Structure 1
């Protein structure tokens, strides 16, 4: 029999998982449609997507930071202020999106060149990137509004908005790429339209709530600056995370094409498997924030304990499925025997690290919900310092990509220990409307 806490947790986590799974659908649809235009177009899409994904990933703090801030105020019963913080987050997303788009448009050829696009792929990458940058403000608004709604314990609306946008993206792209004849530009434009639709939908929901609770919709410069300042540690944490992952790619590439190909497949598997415990982390952000905002630290403790149990359970299930289904998915990814052998071994490493990662993701979510983001940024720096010598040893000794992924497991473990110590100390249990 599920407890009330379990039911609330799952009621938030399951829709959050659906929304997380909807996000890769945009890239999968674009890849499938553009792939039929030709290899240069598909290569161009890969280059442009790498730029866009990194830009959006670096701005993920717009979702996490807004969730924590809004949940605190909502938990304390101050819905007017909660919606005001959500509106501040939206304006911050618009400002960042417009700034990045304005910077990226003239620099598109430079960015494409830095990523090593070939002469045949570069023109397609530039076209796709420039059109996609026009939709970047909408993408960031989706992050901010999703964060605001999560803070209000609404994970279903983001699921519907992103899910329908992902579905609409397919016929839009097909129409614009083929009958209209825009080629790769049509794929980019279709995705921009779908993202703008999701952003409009989510904005309408937040704005309607803000009006209902008499929150101002106008840009509030002090509020936007405060949101930016509060999110700075989360941005630093994300940058350090990206550095670690880029180091992994560099080391894998140094071991040859087979190592790099297997690393890419392993990273895809790792990313997808992390979504189940990550959805529990998202639920814990909202529940912990609400409880601490309401001055109920024991409720926050109980919510965090249940989130950890569900997160670890989902991590273990994912690990078992990863190992059991190896004969099914490994041949799907590649026909190269050398790559297959490496992926077969890498699956064991990823499975072994799943419980470690699951605990870490949920603990991260708990501390983000508590507003303890400066500590998280510090732990990410410590983990990076721990990881670099391990990655360097793999590079210098040519130990191979499997050893590199064991080093990643060590990186996860270092972060988990640091965050677990904070969790056990109860220093994060600060109650009140702000962390």
Structure 2
């Protein structure tokens, strides 16, 4: 089982770590520009696109679980039609986002309390990057389908190429062309469309024979669409809560000034680095749990749950130790501004704890996605967001200042893991397929 997990997890970890690597490079590039409001604009702009794109994360997560179950059942037509439907949905939503770009940015800037300079450069960033929407959503669906097919190699290739291209282009636009957040946006736009082209080529390279199982009459199959959206409705609600929490965190950081926003932006990047590493095993759990559920193999399903949880905990402990030992040195990679580093160091303890306390909820997310048991994910996220995170923030902010934000975030993660653990026996471990 360990060998099977590592075969799926290692490519996922490698590809996942290239995602925060991009964020690290972008933050470092912009963090070394003359003005701190560029970093604030990158944070706010990134938050807006996280809200837009993460909300459609179900295009990857829901597709993985459903495809993995069809793979376990060896139903090629259902595998192919799942791919076709998710692409139809992805392109429809992507084009809709572009059509609604003006009201979306006006609403976003109205909600977020930021300085005039941050708001201006956020608009500059947004106006360019918005055109990545169709390609980004199509990539979500494509990569989710590959993972469901037990193929972690192709998502790794796509993600690494995508992010390396993005990094190279961002360095070129900022260092050579003397641009700022607009350079980051152009680099993201170009690299995203090129990555989609690569993904399509890889699909036809290995899975062209599956296109023979495509049936136009089944594309808009009411029962299958109902099943897809039933699973993904819960994932969508769960993801909206996650986006809300991180967006609220960024907005409240911005409200405390550009210095707090800059420091918290850097620390959130470290949270992302840890989460993407652990998510390698969460993705492996998605693929394997779906496969074993589709193949009616309860014994291997339970074993996959326990083994992935063990690997997630190991990575969580490792990540916390790295942050503990190299805290200040890591911060200097992001910025040379001593006031930003001093503020970040004053609340670094919460980032040190992050990989350890978050590892359980990341892995359990993968378990429940693979099993398409999405209602518990929805319920636990609603509890963590509205019963824990928000009350903790409002109770702690007046007492602890910047620390109050981070305490609320840590409690949010702990609650997610504990609540999913409560559901685990009845919904996953004790079920005979």
TM band (smaller chain): 0.7 to 0.9
Aligned equivalent of 1:192: 189
Instruction: Indicate how the Cα distance of structure 1 residues 105 and 221 shifts in structure 2: closer, same or farther if over 3 A, else same.
Output: farther
Q: Distance in 2 between matches of 1:181 and 1:221?
A: 48
Q: How far does the alpha carbon of each residue in 1:69-97 deviate from its partner, in whole angstroms, 9 at most, with x for none?
A: 00000011113312321221122111111
Q: Which moved more, 1:171-180 or 1:154-163?
A: 171-180
Larger RCO of the pair (alpha carbons < 8 Å, separation 6+)? 2
Could you give the per-residue CA deviations for residues 192-232 of structure 1, whole angstroms, max 9, x where no partner exists?
A: 22211211222333355554132317582234554333211
Greater displacement, 18-27 / 121-130: 121-130
With over 3 angstroms needed to count, the CA separation of the structure-2 counterparts of 1:431 and 1:105, relative to structure 1, is farther
Q: How far apart are 1:183 and its partner, in Å?
A: 8.1
Query: CA 1:49/1:400 → structure 2, altered by over 3 Å: closer, same or farther?
Result: closer
CA distance in 1, matches of 2:383, 2:71: 33
C-alpha change, 1:353 and 1:152, in structure 2 (3 Å) is same
Q: Following TM superposition, by how much is the alpha carbon of 1:357 offset from its aligned partner in structure 2, in angstroms?
A: 1.2
Query: Is 2:163 the partner of 1:166?
Result: yes
Q: 1:274 to 1:200 in 2, by over 3 A?
A: same
Number of residue-to-residue matches in the alignment:
427
Answering whether residue 140 of structure 2 is matched by residue 143 of structure 1, we say yes
Which blocks of at least 5 consecutive residues in structure 2 are unaligned?
A: none
CA distance in 2, matches of 1:331, 1:186: 23
In the alignment, the residues of structure 2 paired with residue 412 and residue 355 of structure 1 have an alpha-carbon distance, to the nearest angstrom, of 10
1:170-249 → structure 2 map (5 Å cutoff): 170-172=167-169, 188-207=185-204, 211-213=208-210, 214-216=212-214, 218=216, 220-222=219-221, 223-224=224-225, 226-249=227-250
Q: Residues 182-331 of structure 1: matches in 2 within 5 Å?
A: 188-207=185-204, 211-213=208-210, 214-216=212-214, 218=216, 220-222=219-221, 223-224=224-225, 226-252=227-253, 259-331=260-332
Match of 2:377 in 1: 376
* The one of 96, 100, 115 aligned to 1:99: 96
Contact 1:83 1:210 survives alignment (8 Å): no
Q: Deviations over 1:313-370 (max 9, x none)?
A: 0101111111011242244445666654553353333333433311121111111111
SS in 2 for 1:94: helix
Q: CA deviation at 1:296?
A: 0.2
Indicate the SS of the match to 1:154. Answer: coil
- Aligned partner (choices 51, 56, 65) of residue 62 of structure 2: 65
Shift of 1:54: 2.2
Once superposed, what is the RMSD of the aligned Cα atoms?
3.3
Distance 1:353 1:181 in 2: 36
Distance in 2 between the 1:194 and 1:365 partners? Answer: 28
Instruction: Note closer, same or farther for the CA distance 1:136–1:197 as it changes in structure 2 (3 Å cut).
Output: same
TM-score scaled by length of structure 2: 0.86
| Residue 55 of structure 1: how far off its partner (Å) | 1.2
Q: 1:252 to 1:197 in 2, by over 3 A?
A: closer
- Whole-angstrom distance in 1 between the partners of 2:150 and 2:347: 37
Against the structure 1 CA distance between its residues 224 and 91, is the aligned structure 2 distance closer, same or farther, given a 3 Å change threshold?
farther
Q: What is the deviation of 1:187? A: 5.0
> Does residue 12 of structure 1 match 2:14?
no
Query: Is 1:248–1:391's contact at 8 Å kept on the other side of the alignment?
Result: no
Q: CA deviation at 1:430?
A: 5.5
In the other structure, the counterpart of 2:78 is: 81
What's 2:53 paired with? Answer: 56
CA distances 1:38-89 after superposition (whole Å, capped 9, x unpaired): 7577665554333223211221111111100000000111133123212211
Structure 1: 5+ residue stretches without partners? none
Counterpart of 1:95 in 2: which secondary structure?
Answer: helix
